[in-house]
Structure 1
Amino acid sequence: MTRALILGATGGIGRALSARLEAQGAQVTGLSRSADGMDLTRPGTVAEHAARLAGQSFDLIVNTTGALVIDGHQPEKSLDAVDADAMARQFALNATGVALAIQAFGPLLVRDRRAVFASLSARVGSIGDNDLGGWIGYRAAKAAQNQIIRTAAIEYRRRNRHAILVALHPGTVQTPLTAKYASRYPTITPDRSAEALLAVIDGLTTDDTGSFWDWKGARVPW
């Protein structure tokens, strides 16, 4: 039986992933800030919940935690709108928080067979794909997350040769995160995103560790 751990399990994509996995017969453990107090911006809560899971192992860990608007700060349209505190909060959740998640939960990946740690990034975090500008803090934090995953994947080649660490772009999903901006882009439902993301995950091999994929199964440039 597949054992999965979903971080951010009460969010739109987290709930959909959990439901999909359970329908496939997986045993799913979910953690979130709202339900369990596991907050990626508070290192103590991350370590505490990882300690509670000590002795368990997972075939799949997916971090679905993230935010575009934090404490009311909207995405910047230009450099003039950059706010140091707002940018620091973006990094705390969307970058540093991911490093803490890998640090705390990565050791729970099974070691005797294929295992995947996937974290939801965003296409706007791609430096090579940035032709529009704007959204500076969010873009930069997601780009930093991608580098964290890439770097962690290199380390995990030595720590757990069966582990695959990847960044995933889930599409523009119909959730509160995208509600204000979704009218400008084609959107998909959380369930459709979950279905597609699991298909991408199922197709990964150890040669793919440290890579960045979109929900359609195409690699995204760094």
Structure 2
Amino acid sequence: MTNALVIGASGGIGTALAAALEGQGRAVTRLSRADGLDLRDPDATGRALDALDGPFERILLATGILAPSGRSPEKSLARIDAAAMAEVLAVNTIGTALVLRALPRLLARDGAGKVGVLTARVGSIGDNRLGGWHAYRASKAAANMLIRGAAIELARSHKGVTCVALHPGTVATDFTAGYPAHAKHGPEQAARALLDVLDGLGPDESGGFFDYAGRPVPW
């Protein structure tokens, strides 16, 4: 039985990813705030990751916030708030970096491990035609760069590993409950699609950005 790790396993997509991985016959380790993971706190995040026993053949990072609690993404430049932006970046960007930092230890050096980090199409600079959501967009664009850099570094030491950014689409979870006008698909459907995409990618695609249908997303 192969091992999988889902970080952010208490969220809607994370829960569905863990269940789908188990459906593939994998032993799944779940990591969430209940286990001491707090991406706002580097020390707590480090302790939670250090407690994991790898190696893992599949690692999925399914964490993030749209905005701090009680706030919503900015619709204009005038709505940018430094403290709110700092919190979004702390979770979505620095938190992602802290997880990526642990990958060399969590992956087998001679294995064909696969890492999928859920970012978002709105983090694409080339695809941004509407503006707004400045902190969230910036945090995900920066996370995409970190994923790209991690893939380049892993290719030197873990040649069989594939590390990619994944756009799950708009998924019907608590995360998106405040946006009823957006077309959504269910978390189980999203999880199956994302795992199919990840399973179909190899080291040659490492460092790429793909949506839930396997289509490349522009940076």
TM-score, structure 2 as length reference = 0.97
In structure 2, the residue matched to 1:196 is 193
State the secondary structure of the residue aligned to 2:111: coil
Unpaired runs of 5+ residues, structure 2, are none
Unpaired runs of 5+ residues, structure 1, are none
Choose the corresponding residue for 2:181, options 174, 181, 184. 184
Distance across 2 between alignment mates of 1:83 and 1:149: 26
Q: Deviations over 1:67-90 (max 9, x none)?
A: 112132210010000000111111
**Mean alpha-carbon deviation: is it higher for 105-114 or for 73-82?**
105-114
Percent of paired sites with the same residue: 51
Partner amino acid, structure 2, of 1:2:
T
**Mean alpha-carbon deviation: is it higher for 80-89 or for 66-75?**
66-75
Distance across 2 between alignment mates of 1:77 and 1:192: 30
- Note the C-alpha offset of 1:161: 0.9
**Contact 1:106–1:117 (CA under 8 A) maintained in structure 2:** no
State the secondary structure of the residue aligned to 1:25: coil
Distance across 2 between alignment mates of 1:70 and 1:8: 17
- Residue 77 of structure 2 corresponds to residue 72 of structure 1: no
Q: Deviations over 1:82-128 (max 9, x none)?
A: 00011111110001100100112442112222111111100000000
Partner amino acid, structure 1, of 2:22:
E
State the secondary structure of the residue aligned to 2:132: coil
In structure 1, the residue matched to 2:30 is 30
Distance across 1 between alignment mates of 2:102 and 2:44: 10
- Residue 203 of structure 2 corresponds to residue 211 of structure 1: no
Partner amino acid, structure 2, of 1:120:
L
- Note the C-alpha offset of 1:2: 2.0
**Contact 2:111–2:158 (CA under 8 A) maintained in structure 1:** no
State the secondary structure of the residue aligned to 2:173: coil
4+ residue segments displaced more than 4 Å: none
Distance across 2 between alignment mates of 1:131 and 1:191: 29
Number of corresponding residues: 219
**Contact 2:170–2:176 (CA under 8 A) maintained in structure 1:** yes
**Contact 1:213–1:220 (CA under 8 A) maintained in structure 2:** yes
- Note the C-alpha offset of 1:184: 2.3
**Contact 1:38–1:45 (CA under 8 A) maintained in structure 2:** yes
TM-score, structure 1 as length reference = 0.96
State the secondary structure of the residue aligned to 2:102: helix
**Mean alpha-carbon deviation: is it higher for 166-175 or for 99-108?**
99-108
Partner amino acid, structure 1, of 2:108:
V
Distance across 2 between alignment mates of 1:162 and 1:45: 30
Distance across 2 between alignment mates of 1:10 and 1:71: 17
State the secondary structure of the residue aligned to 2:174: coil
**Mean alpha-carbon deviation: is it higher for 91-100 or for 109-118?**
109-118
Over 3 Å counting, the alpha-carbon distance change for 1:106 and 1:16 in structure 2 is: farther
